[in-house]
Amino acid sequence: MDIYISYALFFLFQICFIIQLYYLLVIQRKFSVFKPNKNLETNYSQPVSVIICARNEAENLKNYLPFILEQNHPNFEVIVVNDCSYDNSEDVLKDFAIKYKHLKVVKIEEHPRFKTAKKFAATLGIKAAIHDIILFTDADCKPGSENWINRITAHYQNDKTEIVLGYSPYIKGKGFLNRLIRYETYQTALNYFAYSLNAMPYMGVGRNLSYKKSLFFKNKGFASHMHIPSGDDDLFVNQNANAHNTEIEFSEDSQVWSEPKTTWKSYWKQKSRHLGAGKAYKNQDRKNLGLQFGSAIGFYALLVLCLFFRIEPLLIAIIFLIRFVVQIYVFYQPFIKLRNKDLIWWFIILDPFYYIYLTSLGITGVFRKKTAWK
C-alpha cells in the first residue's frame, strides 16, 4: 500500500480514537459517577394518569395490567387506549374495569380508509387524562415494583420539572440475540441519561416516560411529526426537553421490564421502525449522535484495515487496548445501575457487533417504506 494512504488511515484511526475518548470520558462518564438524590420524597401524592396504548394485546393485558393497576400510589388512574384491536382485548378490559374503578378505557374503531398510528392513540389517551402528570408504558411491560409510579413522579416536587426519563430493560434470556438486545437497550439508556446530565436531553423511551399534559398541549403535542410513524416518545422529548425541565430516574423500583424479541426478523423490524424517528431530531442532536456513532464505526473499520495492511500493528493494538480499558472503566457502574452486569463478559464481542448491526439497519433504511406501529 502507498505510504501516504497508510499514514492517512492511521491518522484517521487516531482521530476516531480521540473522539471516542471524548464521548466516553466527558459525556458518558457523567452518568457513571452520578449519584441520585437520596432526599427525594417518594411518598409524593401528586395525582397521576398512566396511559397505555394497546393494539391486539389481550394476553399481555391479562398478564401485566394488574401490576400497574395495583401500584402503591394514593391517587392515580390508568387509561388504556384500545386501538383498533380485533382480538379479545375489549372483553379483557371490560372484566378489569369491573374490578378496578380507576381504569378508564378509550376505544378507537378501525377506519376503512386509513390506519391510525400510535401517536393518534396516545393523543386520545392524553386528552382523556384528568391529571396533569402523565406516565406512559406499554401493554407488554411490568413495573419492577409497586412503587414505580411513586419513584417516577417524585421528581415533580421540583416545580421546574416537566419531563422524567425512566428506564425499561429487557428480561435476561438465552442466546446471543438476547444479549445484543439488552446491550443495545443499555447503550441507548446510558446515552440518553448521560446526555441529560450534560444538559443536552434528546430522547426518552415510551415504555417508561413521564411528562406533563400541560407541556404536551402548550407545544401542540405531536403535530410537527405526526407524519412519522414512530417517535411518540423520543421525538416529543427531543423537541420539548431542556436542561432545566428534565429529570432522570433509574432506581431499581422505577424500572419497567419487557420481554425482548426472540427472532432476528422481529428485532430487525422493531429497530427499523425506531430508527426512522432519528432523522427528525434537532440538528445539534443529530450532529452529536452522528459524530459519536460515526467515530465508533470508523474506529472499528479502520482498526480492521490497519491490521489487514499491517499499518503500525503494535500501535494499533495499544490504542485498541486503551479504548477497551477506558470503556470498561466508564461502563462498569452503568452496567450495575442498569441491571446488565452479566454483559460485561460479552462486551468485547457485543460492542463491535452492535455498531455493525445498526449500520446495516441505517443502510437498509434508505430504501425502506413506511411501517405501521403494530
310 and 223 in one domain?
no
Is residue 247 within 8 Å of residue 159, measured between CB atoms? no
List phi, psi (to 5°) of 366.
-60, -30
Q: Last residue of a domain, which of 230, 263, 296?
A: 263
100-to-63, 78, 95, 115, 162 alpha-carbon distances in Å = 15, 9, 9, 30, 28
Residue 38, domain member (yes or no): no
- DSSP-derived secondary structure letter, 45: -
List phi, psi (to 5°) of 223.
-55, -40
For residues 102 and 104, give the distance between their C-alpha atoms in angstroms, rounded to a whole number. Answer: 6
At residue 267, what is the residue type?
Y
Residue 374, domain member (yes or no): no
For residues 340 and 182, give the distance between their C-alpha atoms in angstroms, rounded to a whole number. Answer: 8
Residue 164, domain member (yes or no): yes
State residue 278's pLDDT score. Answer: 76
193 lies in which domain range? 48-263
17 and 55 in one domain?
no
63 and 155 in one domain?
yes
What is the CA angle 297-301-307, rounded to 5?
A: 145
Residue 271, domain member (yes or no): no
- DSSP-derived secondary structure letter, 27: I
Q: Tell me how many domains the chain contains.
A: 2
249 and 108 in one domain?
yes
What is the CA angle 196-198-199, rounded to 5?
A: 65
79 and 27 in one domain?
no
Is residue 183 within 8 Å of residue 350, measured between CB atoms? yes
Residue 101, domain member (yes or no): yes
Q: Pick the closest to residue 150 from 162, 139, 166 (CA basis).
A: 166
State residue 366's pLDDT score. Answer: 57
Is residue 55 within 8 Å of residue 119, measured between CB atoms? no
227 and 156 in one domain?
yes
State residue 365's pLDDT score. Answer: 63
Domain harbouring 88, CATH code: 3.90.550.10
Provide the residue-wise pLDDT of the chain in tens; the chain has 374 residues: 678 889 899 999 999 999 999 999 999 999 999 998 877 776 777 899 999 999 999 999 999 999 999 999 999 999 999 999 999 999 999 999 999 999 999 999 877 555 668 899 999 999 999 999 999 999 999 999 999 999 999 999 999 999 999 999 999 999 999 999 999 999 999 999 999 999 999 999 999 999 999 999 999 999 888 878 777 889 999 999 999 999 999 999 999 999 999 998 888 888 876 666 777 899 999 999 999 999 999 999 999 999 999 899 999 999 999 999 999 999 999 999 999 999 999 999 999 999 998 888 877 765 555 555 56
pTM confidence score: 0.92
Residue 41, domain member (yes or no): no
299 and 185 in one domain?
no
80 and 17 in one domain?
no
Residue 270, domain member (yes or no): no
Residue 336, domain member (yes or no): yes
76 and 22 in one domain?
no
301 and 251 in one domain?
no
152 and 123 in one domain?
yes
DSSP letters spanning 233-295: THHHHHHH--TTTEEE---GGG-EEEPPP-SHHHHHHHHHHHHGGGGGS-HHHHHHHHHHHHH
237 and 146 in one domain?
yes
Helix (H, G, I), strand (E, B) or coil at 70: coil
- DSSP-derived secondary structure letter, 344: G
